[in-house]
Amino acid sequence: MIGWQPALGGDDAPEGLPPLVAAEPQSATRVLREIPLLLGLAALIAFLVKTFVAQAFYIPSESMLPQLEVNDRVVVSKLSYRLHEPRRGDIIVFDDPRAIDETDDDNVVEKFVRGLAEAVGVVQPSTDEFIKRVIALPGETVEAKGGRVYVDGKLLYEPYLPPGVVTTDFAPTMVPDSTLWVMGDNRSNSSDSRSFGPVRRSTVVGRTILRVWPPGSASFL
């Protein structure tokens, strides 16, 4: 049974023990010194999460209608493809293959600083990324005929497309190693592998796993 015990200190302190001393409140100067450290730590954590775990993106175009609408916000997992390779039907984010690749020439410090600034919202995030659906995998042959998509000669089942969607015919194309054939769900209004070819696996940012905005449309993808 737990009984009442007097607080130590002053006249109630047992013999041989010094009285307790009340802790002094932190000085304003000390608090001000700690604020930059805390802010820096928070920024570093945000940067690490954005770089290695997950990142938020917004949808700038109609290429993924009706699954994703313009200005929807999605969360992209950067861990998924550390555990397994991309799969057919995944919605992925990847670097714009039409852009001039200057990433190898960028200063490492500049890239770190920009990434940090993007993570904490100081700098507008880069918009040089595309979001599309994986249609064909390395080594497969993809084509469209009669308005439908075929992979290795077999009709591709695409339940995510609304009835009546027609895919413009294109000749059989073999997907090279370390690349993916991607297409938007809005087949009549999507710049995808039909125009710029397969995308390099190394340019894939991650797999889209969650729509978080607007709130009423939040869902797993």
Which residue among 50, 78, 132, 190 is the active-site one? Answer: 132
Surface-to-core class of residue 150, CB atoms within 10 Å of its CB (0-12 exposed, 13-18 middle, 19+ buried): middle
Q: Please report, for residues 21, 93, 142, 150, 193, the alpha-carbon distance to residue 158 in angstroms, rounded to integers and kept in the order given.
A: 72, 19, 14, 11, 17
**Domain residue ranges in the chain:** 32-220
Q: What's the CATH architecture for 32-220?
A: Ribbon (2.10)
Euclidean distance between CA atoms 53 and 205, whole angstroms: 11
Q: By the 8 A CB rule, do 92 and 20 touch? A: no
Q: How high is the pLDDT of residue 21? A: 52
Q: Of the given ranges (62-71, 73-82, 92-101, 175-184), which has the lowest mean pLDDT?
A: 92-101
pTM, 2 dp: 0.67
pLDDT in tens, 112-167: 555 555 444 444 445 578 999 999 999 999 999 999 999 999 999 999 999 889 99
- Residue 63 annotated in active site: yes
Let me know if 132 is a catalytic residue: yes
Q: Which of the following is catalytic: 63, 77, 80, 190? A: 63
Share of the chain above pLDDT 90, in %: 37
